Homo-oligomer: A and B are copies of this chain.
């Protein structure tokens, strides 16, 4: 299919369209993955901009290196050293949000017709990036720890798999946390398949228990010399502010060089003032305290939504209690009919969530939904769970 035909067919992000509905009066949105506005650190960010621009050297406004400000890459390497091992600034590429990391990795790795493996339910904007490369997207079976290594090995036995995309730590959409042993097995399967593993890791710092997250796939691969190729992506959109669009990509040298070439053509470089701001925010003690507050806050909210669902929706769906990130993944007890008009139900009952089909490679899912507890207040989460139950009852009754 031609790229133009792909665009004619493309639906755009349903989640971003739900964002418009979220503006309507008295709507409780459990849809988007947006940070809680109360946790956006306006005063520290404001001060960081002032400090980043305090020098009288106008070079802060000039063109900069395609792979990013060395000081920014060094600060990120230091910040993530406990999760990734020691790295120098030369190992990193700053990206325009981690979404650009996904897109650049996809464009560098995937030719038309190539297969990329994803979990049966995956982040829609990654699926979109893979579709625009005209890649074949293979949904691989997953459980509450994420992708099953044997299912990946089976796929790789049937066809060449070029890349594997995972959010293994408090995943989007499932919230799943992949354990250490599962990670090692998956890395072995990836290495054996000769597939590059894209580890998208924006939620790592949002674990309710800071110590609960296993090491990154990148680090396990290095430590155990498993021989996989891992592209690691991080983001500050969930921990500092989405508006800044600062993400970063860590990749083996040959791949990193190709990504830098792709980035030259994509946008020359990412915003430099925002990179300077990140340098300011990663210095000193502020971020550690901020992340601790985020963890407590989102833990309270995640537990509140979990409790409200137990009260109102336990007969309608099952789910795992959240341990981090922003999402609860519901498995319906029954299936919503194919033609369910979710938008009409959302409008009627004043609640939003994302139907599971948005996360499946072929848009076929009818038995799941994603709930985000990040944005509404605890009180609104309770209201949202009540309304969700009404929506599901109506949808399943017509089934």
Assembly CA distance A40 to B267 (angstroms):
20
Of B58, B125, B266, the contact of A103 (CB 8 Å cutoff)? B266
The residue in chain B whose Cβ has the minimal distance to the Cβ of A10 is B261
CB of A58 within 8 A of CB of B34, answer: no
Known: A42-B60, A46-B53, A271-B271. 5 other contacts (CB 8 A): A8-B258, A50-B50, A125-B265, A245-B267, A267-B267
Of B3, B37, B60, B261, the contact of A58 (CB 8 Å cutoff)? B37
Assembly CA distance A103 to B45 (angstroms):
31
**Is the interface on chain A under 10, 10 to 19, 20 to 34, or 35 or more residues?**
35 or more
Assembly CA distance A246 to B26 (angstroms):
35
The residue in chain B whose Cβ has the minimal distance to the Cβ of A259 is B7
CB distance from A358 to the nearest CB of B (A): 13
CB distance from A96 to the nearest CB of B (A): 4
Number of copies: 2
Binary contact track A40-53/B, C-beta < 8 Å → 1, others 0: 11100110011001
Shortest Cβ-Cβ A-B pairs, 8 listed: A61-B241, A243-B272, A40-B58, A7-B258, A96-B267, A129-B265, A128-B265, A40-B61
Residues of chain B contacted by A96 (CB below 8 angstroms): 96, 245, 266-267, 270-271
A201 contacts partner chain B, Cβ-Cβ < 8 Å: no
Of B40, B133, B271, the contact of A245 (CB 8 Å cutoff)? B271
CB of B12 within 8 A of CB of A264, answer: yes
A320 contacts partner chain B, Cβ-Cβ < 8 Å: no
CB distance from A142 to the nearest CB of B (A): 23
CB of B268 within 8 A of CB of A271, answer: no
Q: Name A's B-contacting residues (CB within 8 A).
A: 2-4, 7-8, 10, 12-13, 16, 32, 34-35, 37-38, 40-42, 45-46, 49-50, 53, 56, 58-64, 66, 95-97, 99-100, 103, 107-112, 125, 128-129, 131-133, 237, 241-245, 258, 260-262, 264-274
CB of A262 within 8 A of CB of B4, answer: no
| Subset of 6 A-B contacts with CB under 8 Å | A2-B111, A3-B110, A13-B264, A41-B61, A45-B61, A96-B96
CB of A64 within 8 A of CB of B262, answer: no
Residues of chain B contacted by A271 (CB below 8 angstroms): 96, 243-245, 270-271, 274
Of B109, B112, B266, B274, the contact of A112 (CB 8 Å cutoff)? B112
